Amino acid sequence: MAPSTTSAVILNINGEKHSLSVDHRTTLLDALRERLDLTGTKKGCDQGQCGACTVLIDGRRAVSCLQLAVAADGREITTIEGVAQGDTLHPVQQAFLDLDGFQCGYCTPGQICSALGVIAEHAAGWPSAATDDVRPEAGVPELSAEEIRERMSGNLCRCGAYVSIVQAVARAAKTEEGVA
Interface residues with ligand FES (CB under 6 A)? 43-46, 48-53, 63, 65, 102-108, 157-159, 161
Is 50 in a helix, a strand, or coil? coil
* Nearest distance from C-beta of residue 96 to ligand FES, angstroms: 10
Q: Which is nearer to ligand FES, 44 or 82 (CB)?
A: 44
Q: Which is nearer to ligand FES, 21 or 49 (CB)?
A: 49
Please check whether residue 45 is in contact with residue 155, taking contact to mean a CB–CB distance below 8 angstroms. no
* Nearest distance from C-beta of residue 66 to ligand FES, angstroms: 7
* Nearest distance from C-beta of residue 79 to ligand FES, angstroms: 13
Cα–Cα dist 93/57, whole Å: 19
Cα–Cα dist 5/22, whole Å: 8
Q: Which is nearer to ligand FES, 59 or 105 (CB)?
A: 105
